[in-house]
Amino acid sequence: MNNLQKNNINIDGAYTRKKAIEILLEILEKNKPLDNAFEVSTKKTSHFSKLINEDKSFCRLLVSTTLRNLTSIDYLLTKFLSKPLDKTPLKILMILRINLAQSFFLKTPDHAVVNTAVELCGKKWKGLVNGVSREILRNKKKAKKYLSESNKIPNWLLNRWKRDWAKNYNDIITEHLNLNPPIDLYVKNDANYWAKKLNGKRLGNNCVRLYTPGLISSLEGYEVGEWWIQDYSSQIPVSLLGIQSNDDVLDLCAAPGGKTAQLISLGAKVTSIDNNEKRLFRLKQNLKRLNYQAIIENKDIRNFSLQKTWPKIILDAPCSSTGTLRKNPEIMHQKKESDIISLSKLQSELLDAAWNLLQEGGTLLYCTCSLEKEEGEQQIQSFIKRKKNSLLDKINTNEIDKKLKTSNKDKWLRIFPNSLDYEGGNDGFFIARVKKIT
């Protein structure tokens, strides 16, 4: 055995799968976001840091693939397990879930899937895991039929999208099943240069899309702050504020700071407010790397009172984030119908608070990365009705990229995950621009 083999704790792939299960338990049992669960779990032991990059990437891919297809995977398991899913020990259920993710979505060789699963489950459950796994693999044609006929997202969300987006809900679901969604960057200068340097594709003026997965912090330009990660859709709201040099702008619910950085890059003087201390710490770290400065306040804007008002405000409100499933598939398994109700109430309160901070004649830009009408269309309609000194300022198609397919019939902008005519799609978003009239 050579030194590489001696030092490789993942020689049969079992360790990577073990970590994937730990991360999935953090996400599905403790409601941790995927990024956070991955970071926390991988810091628990130094072993993970010793894995080669390919194994680290596979671990994350296995977790995200399992989450992305969990509704279909669980439907398939109900056809082969003799007991209900909730009667199966969670760890064993998770082993079976990652088995199916590997076999049917990642095309891992069957023998590798079964062997590592049996190794992970322990003696007591070896018979069940081995038996169910092999039974499914022996009946792949039937299994694929079950996967095909299954719902692809949880019922609570499927029913909403069928109701609200009857014409295109299948397209939305298809886009979210993208196994390797690209990463979008906002670059400070010379997007053509960075697209070539990073082997990406330029989108619009300052966006570069990367299709090759890898460790972002190791890419050229990261350490010296030439760019930051920000989805294409998330870059649109700031572009609709008509920012001029030295504009005084208030960025509400600002962390982790993509829009703050965007505003600064355009020459604005920015005040950034967020009530989440941990997220604000990330904002400060991001601005430091980018060599940007802003006035930063750790406040709840509902209790924020100043004599000062601002001519331009952007409110990227906390929301269900159902427009981001292609990158954050855990959301559909963590959120529920009642969350939409509580979040829409919070958004209404934040809108009212933001309005009090806006100058007469000023502009409020409201946005969410949600596909739910209560957090978008209905929210802004309700706001306009209760604020008699408000005027919805139409967002025209000539203000946005021609590659972005949107309807021109409404004054707001509704962006679906398949609206962008580039490979890899985009986050779903809602954007409305409101003027304060006298």
234-256 confidence digits (pLDDT tens): 999 999 999 999 999 999 999 99
C-alpha–C-alpha distance, residues 180 and 322, integer Å: 18
Burial of 80 (0-12, 13-18, 19+ CB in 10 A): middle
pLDDT for position 434: 98
| In the chain, % of residues over pLDDT 90 | 77
Q: Does pTM surpass 0.85?
A: yes
Q: Among residues 424, 38, 54, which one has the least CA distance to residue 232?
A: 424
Q: For residues 212-224, give the mean pLDDT.
A: 86
Cβ–Cβ under 8 Å, residues 427 and 323: yes
User: Alpha carbon 264 to chain centroid distance?
Assistant: 24
Backbone angles phi, psi at 359, to 5 degrees: -70, 155
- What does the mean pLDDT of the chain come to? 92
pLDDT of 45 strictly over 70: no
**Which range is least confidently modeled, 129-133, 247-251, 287-291?**
129-133
pLDDT for position 435: 98
Cβ–Cβ under 8 Å, residues 259 and 251: yes
Q: For residues 256-265, give the mean pLDDT.
A: 97
pLDDT per residue over 333-361, tens digit each? 999 999 999 999 999 999 999 999 999 99
Which has more confidence, 307 or 413?
413
- pLDDT band of residue 10 (cuts 50, 70, 90) is low
Axis crossing angle, helix 155-164 with helix 337-356, rounded to the nearest 10:
60
Domains and CATH numbers, the chain: 3-149 (1.10.940.10), 230-436 (3.40.50.150)
pLDDT for position 438: 84
Q: Among residues 233, 234, 238, 230, which one has the least CA distance to residue 183?
A: 230
207 part of the active site: no
C-alpha–C-alpha distance, residues 383 and 344, integer Å: 11
pLDDT of 7 strictly over 50: no
Cβ–Cβ under 8 Å, residues 392 and 374: no
pLDDT for position 11: 57
pLDDT for position 1: 36
Q: Among residues 142, 110, 114, which one has the least CA distance to residue 129?
A: 114
C-alpha–C-alpha distance, residues 154 and 135, integer Å: 26
**Which range is least confidently modeled, 37-51, 64-78, 128-142, 253-267?**
37-51
How many angstroms separate the Cα of 155 from the Cα of each of 105, 150, 170?
21, 11, 14
C-alpha–C-alpha distance, residues 416 and 425, integer Å: 9
C-alpha–C-alpha distance, residues 436 and 387, integer Å: 9
Most confident by average pLDDT, 5-19, 53-67, 234-248: 234-248
pLDDT of 6 strictly over 50: no
pLDDT for position 178: 83
pLDDT for position 3: 41
Q: For residues 74-100, give the mean pLDDT.
A: 94
| Number of separate helices (H) and strands (E) present in the chain | 18, 12
pLDDT of 383 strictly over 80: yes
- pLDDT band of residue 83 (cuts 50, 70, 90) is confident
pLDDT of 2 strictly over 50: no
pLDDT of 277 strictly over 80: yes
Cβ–Cβ under 8 Å, residues 22 and 29: no
Q: For residues 47-66, give the mean pLDDT.
A: 85
pLDDT of 47 strictly over 80: no
DSSP category for residue 207: E
pLDDT of 373 strictly over 60: yes
Distance linking the first and last C-alpha atoms of the chain: 80
- Count CB-CB contacts under 10 A for residue 422: 17
Burial of 277 (0-12, 13-18, 19+ CB in 10 A): exposed
The radius of gyration computed from the CA coordinates of the chain, to the nearest angstrom, equals 23
- Count CB-CB contacts under 10 A for residue 44: 10
Cβ–Cβ under 8 Å, residues 358 and 309: yes
Selected catalytic residue, list 207, 319, 367, 369? 369
